[in-house]
C-alpha cells in the first residue's frame, strides 16, 4: 500500500475531532474544511461551533455538555453511555456505521498526556480490529498505522519515527538510519527521509510518524 503525504489538498472522507488541543496549523485546518463528514467527540463540539462550524454529528456520553447545549443540538447529538470505550472509539464506531472506512483524527493530542498516549495507541486497534485506514494529524505531523510492506510518500529531510507493535523483523528503505525490530518504543524515533519515498516491511504492526516540515 502507498500512504500519501498529508497536505492541504488532502480530502479525508471523515474527520473526528477529539478533546485535546484544537488544531492551529494550516494543514489540519484545511482537512476540516475539506472533510465530507465531521464528527465531534462530546464537548469538542462546543469549540468547533465557536469556530463558526456545525458538525454533522456529536458523539459521546454527554458528561461535558450542558443540558441546554444537548437540547439545542439534539438532532445531531448521539448519546452513548457505555464506558468500555472512550469517546474517540465511540465516534469511530459511529462513522464506520455511516460507511466511512478512511478516517482522519484531529485534536487527539495535547492537554492530558495519558489521553494523548491512549489515543495514539488506539490507531493500531482501529487498523487491526476495525479494518479502517486511520490517520492522526497534529499541528506538527501525522501518525499512520500499518502492517506488512508499505510505501510512504516523503521528501528529503522529513523527520520520521517508527514505533514497533509486535514485529520481529522490521526493515526500511529510504531512511537515513536502517530500522530493525525495535524492543523499545523510543528506539525508532528521530529518523529522517533521504528521498521522496520510504518503504517499511515488517512481519507485524507498526506506527509511522511523519512531520510536515523538513529538519
Residue 213 burial class via C-beta count within 10 angstroms: exposed 0-12, middle 13-18, buried 19 and up: exposed
132 and 156 share a domain?
A: no
Note the pLDDT of residue 65.
85
Name the more confident of 64 and 14. Answer: 14
131 and 166 share a domain?
A: no
On the question of pLDDT at 91 being above 90, the answer is yes
Strand partners of residue 211: 141
Secondary structure, 3-state, the chain: CEECCCCCCCCCCEEEECCCCCCCCHHHHHHHHHCCEEEEECCHHHHHHHCCCCCCEEEECCCCCCHHHHHHCCCCEEECCCCCCCHHHHHHHHHHHCCCCEEEEECCCCCCHHHHHHHHHHHHHHHHHHCCEEEEECCCEEEEEEEEEEEEECCCCEEEEEEEEECCCEEEECECCCCCCCCCHHHHCCEEECCCEEEEEEEEEEEEEEEEEEC
Note the pLDDT of residue 80.
85
How confident is the model over 7-14, as a mean pLDDT? 90
How confident is the model over 88-102, as a mean pLDDT? 95
What does the chain come to in residues? 215
66 and 83 share a domain?
A: yes
Name the pTM for this structure. 0.94
Give the domain CATH number at 152.
Answer: 2.60.120.320
**Mean pLDDT of the residues in the chain:** 93
On the question of pLDDT at 42 being above 90, the answer is no
Is there a domain that residue 3 lies in?
no
91 and 126 share a domain?
A: yes
Amino acid at each position: 500500500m502507498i500512504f500519501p503525504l498529508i497536505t492541504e489538498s488532502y480530502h479525508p472522507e471523515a474527520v473526528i475531532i477529539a478533546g485535546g488541543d484544537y488544531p492551529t496549523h494550516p494543514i489540519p485546518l484545511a482537512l476540516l474544511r475539506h472533510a465530507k463528514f465531521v464528527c465531534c467527540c462530546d464537548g469538542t463540539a462546543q469549540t468547533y461551533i465557536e469556530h463558526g462550524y456545525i458538525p454533522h454529528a456529536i458523539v459521546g456520553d454527554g458528561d461535558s455538555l450542558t443540558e441546554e447545549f444537548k437540547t439545542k443540538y439534539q438532532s445531531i447529538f448521539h448519546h452513548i453511555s457505555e464506558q468500555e470505550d472512550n469517546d474517540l472509539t465511540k465516534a469511530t464506531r459511529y462513522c464506520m456505521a455511516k460507511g466511512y472506512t478512511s478516517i482522519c483524527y484531529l485534536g487527539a493530542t495535547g492537554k492530558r498526556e495519558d489521553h494523548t498516549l491512549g489515543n495514539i495507541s488506539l490507531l493500531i486497534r482501529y487498523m487491526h480490529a476495525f479494518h479502517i485506514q486511520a490517520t492522526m494529524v497534529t499541528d506538527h505531523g501525522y501518525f499512520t498505522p500499518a502492517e506488512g510492506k508499505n510505501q510512504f510518500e516523503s521528501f528529503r529531510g522529513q523527520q520520521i519515527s517508527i514505533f514497533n507493535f509486535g514485529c520481529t523483523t522490521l526493515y526500511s528503505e529510504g531512511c537515513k538510519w536502517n530500522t530493525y525490530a525495535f524492543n523499545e518504543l523510543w528506539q525508532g524515533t528521530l529518523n529522517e527521509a533521504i528521498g521522496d519515498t520510504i518503504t517499511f516491511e515488517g512481519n507485524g504492526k507498526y506506527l509511522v510518524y511523519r512531520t510536515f516540515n523538513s529538519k
